[in-house]
Chains A and B, each alone.
Chain A
Amino acid sequence: MSHYLFILVGAVLVNNVVLVKILGLCPFMGVSKKLETAYGMGAATTFVLTIATGASYIIDHFLLIPFGLEYLRTLSFIVTIAAIVQLTEMVIAKTSPSLQQTLGIYLPLITTNCAVLGVPLLNISNGYNFVESLLFGAGSAVGFSLVLILFAGMRERIEGAEVPIYFRGVAIAMVTAGLMALAFMGFAGLDKYQ
């Protein structure tokens, strides 16, 4: 049991997709200007990523490996993810047009979000089984949302700060992200007991 917990906590904090693996930086910079959009993006990514890990595991184990088509992994995963993202977008457009508005262009961008493709590939290279894959996917997604929301909160405050003029906007955001990544390095000791 503790094994699963380690995977989950490890994915959220220790091997955080954004700050440690440096995956999914596009939405991390793009959707973190406002807290509300960060919540929406976090929720959408969590949903897509969790489903994508499950689906890609099934495709890998029941379609690609039996037929020895491992070289098609990236291609088939991309197609699957794209379809899931489209599906999510339609559901959101129907249920919450305002969320779709705030997510704007970034929702379709989840398709090409390297975190969403990277996590299923990492699952396979780590040799996780189905449950472990799902946990790792969900953990990564939660880690992504956590960092995104924390970062959006900070950026909202930075907007009021007296930042030197050449540092305003993305520059100071990058600096902040760097400091955040340093802070997350502090979790590195957590998985010593794994």
Chain B
Amino acid sequence: MEILLAIAIMALGAVVLGAALGFASIKFKVEGDPLVEKIEAILPQTQCGQCSYPGCKPYAEAIAKGEADINKCPPGGAEGVQRLADLLGREVKPLDAEEKPKSVAIIDENTCIGCTLCIQACPVDAIVGAAKQMHTIIAPLCTGCELCLPPCPVECIRMEVIGENIDNWKWRYPVVEIKAAPLKEAA
């Protein structure tokens, strides 16, 4: 008898709470996924597809769903992995690929035949040109994704590393020089 009463009371509680939660889930329904936007803000937007997803947004969605790992983005580098790990509360992992220095594509304008294939391949509209006209890359807009390299039939595009110059030079972290104590001669 008492056991039935206990079951009844627990069941009653469960029904009441369940009803309240059900009501709340309708009332406070959230549109969209704010997490995807947050992840996307961290990704470098090179749209290079090196993560095997067609662009940064699909990769962000895959991370949010838990389908993709956070270390698949070489342009974001180790720092990007770190920031994703911080955001998602996951473990920091070493990058799944080699980290490359930031570079920019250059079209050898003498060899370019004006086929427009690279223009179609460029995800960020950083190449200008028209059919049978020489193409050129708008360097400040180039994300260095290398997607224009494979389609070029005459291999006139090469990647050039963006070196340090006066405009992008950064002050170094002040290094404290530590003098090594003189080694004692072994007796």
Contacts and interface: CB of A to CB of B under 8 A. Distances in A.
Interface of A: 59, 63-64, 67-69, 72, 75-76, 79-80, 83, 86-87, 90-91, 93-94, 97-98, 100-101, 104-105
A101 B13 contact: no
Contact-residue size bin, chain B (C-beta under 8 Å from the other chain): 20 to 34
A83 B21 contact: yes
A100 B38 CA distance: 12
A79 B17 CA distance: 9
Interface of B: 2, 5-6, 9-10, 13-14, 17, 20-21, 24-25, 28-30, 34-35, 38, 87-89
A65 to B, nearest CB: 12
Contacts of B24: 86-87, 90-91
Nearest to B34: A97
Nearest to B87: A101
B30 A69 contact: no
Contacts of A93: 28, 30
A77 B80 CA distance: 42
A46 B20 CA distance: 21
Most chain B CB within a 10 A radius of its CB, from A68, A100, A101, A105: A101
Contact of A69 (B6, B20, B25): B6
Contacts of B29: 94
A82 to B, nearest CB: 8
Given A97-B30, A97-B34, A101-B87, 19 more contacts: A63-B9, A68-B2, A69-B2, A69-B6, A72-B9, A75-B10, A76-B10, A80-B13, A83-B20, A83-B21, A87-B20, A90-B25, A90-B28, A93-B28, A93-B30, A94-B29, A100-B34, A101-B35, A101-B38
Nearest to A93: B30
